[in-house]
Amino acid sequence: MSVLVLMRDAGDELSLQALAFARSLGQATGADAEPTAFTIDGPYAPASWGQTVADLVTARSPRAVIAPGTERGNEVMAHAAAILDEPLSANTTAFTPGDPPTVTRVRWGGSLLEQALLRGGTLLITVAPHAVGAAPAGVTPEVVPASHHALALAPTERVGASSGGVTLEEASVVVSGGRGVGSAEGFAVVEELAGLLGGAVGCSRAVTSAGWRPHTDQVGQTGTKVAPEIYIACGISGATQHMAGCKGAKKLLAINSDGEASIFAHADYGVIGDVHAVLPAISAEIRKVRGA
């Protein structure tokens, strides 16, 4: 039996991770050696794309369909699972064959893992981003025309394209403030340091809930996921909600007046002190080093 892989395109990193996952699932279950990669041709319409996957399942009876655990991947596979009335394991990190097989999937934005039995006629799985290494590029996906679904909605326009400036997702430095910053005005010291480093300003959920910063600045499980070279967490305690958004950072510097704060367990570097004393000193030191 075959394994199908829904890819965004032939070079997409997360799709290649899904392909790698599919290969190891195929080997573990004794399916045909090489999974069949495919893309869907046609404007994006979630229910239609879900119907496309469902039609492929009906026509080819694969053992499994694998997709990347992106917003779109999860959305399309949810539609396919609903149409087929099959279970779906979203954001999966591992697969263990068996009858039924066991999947490992992420909970709490990655702060917890779940093992679950997946009782599907066809195994529908999305792969958590960066849970497995990517397969080498070079596969040529089959192009499948989108099916029709009576309830399908498609986007009518795109609005609010970003207006330049460093975005949180792309910034190589993120300076983020938490409850310890104290107020909306208190973010001036955070903005100053971010500006000096050409970085973006982030914040914790406590800050957006207090109305100090807009939600677009929030880093966390329900905010933006960031992956900078260094993440500077200022006055942030290190709740699981927040760490789910910044665990992609290469290095983490925590500045907190509470030396026992759980953020230090996730940090590479730490400074124990009040952000309003430490951040201006760092900014002044940068100016001094640069001779300005």
Question: Scanning residues 184 to 203, which ones bind other proteins (CB under 8 A)?
Answer: 197, 199
Cβ closest to other proteins, residue 33 vs residue 188 = 188
Binding flag, residue 211, other proteins (CB under 8 A)? yes
Binding flag, residue 79, other proteins (CB under 8 A)? yes
The region of 9-17, 57-65, 105-113, 139-147 touching other proteins under the rule CB under 8 A is 105-113
DSSP 37: E
Kindly tell me which residue out of 16, 135, 173, 190 binds other proteins, with binding defined by CB under 8 A.
Answer: 173
* Minimum distance, C-beta of residue 213 to other proteins, in the bound complex (Å): 11
Binding flag, residue 225, other proteins (CB under 8 A)? no
The region of 34-42, 56-64, 85-93, 139-147 touching other proteins under the rule CB under 8 A is 85-93
Gyration radius of the chain over CA positions: 22
Q: Report how far apart, in Å, the C-alpha atoms of 8 and of each of 133, 149, 175 are.
A: 17, 20, 32
Whether the Cβ atoms of residue 21 and residue 53 lie closer than 8 Å to each other? no
Whether the Cβ atoms of residue 51 and residue 79 lie closer than 8 Å to each other? yes
Residues in binding contact with other proteins, number by CB under 8 A: 98
DSSP labels for 68-105?
Answer: E-SHHHHHHHHHHHHHHT--EEEEEEEEE-SSS-EEEE
Q: For residue 216, how many other CB atoms are within 10 A of its CB? A: 13
Site for other proteins in 247-276 (CB under 8 A): 250-251, 253-254, 261-262, 264-274
Site for other proteins in 4-43 (CB under 8 A): none
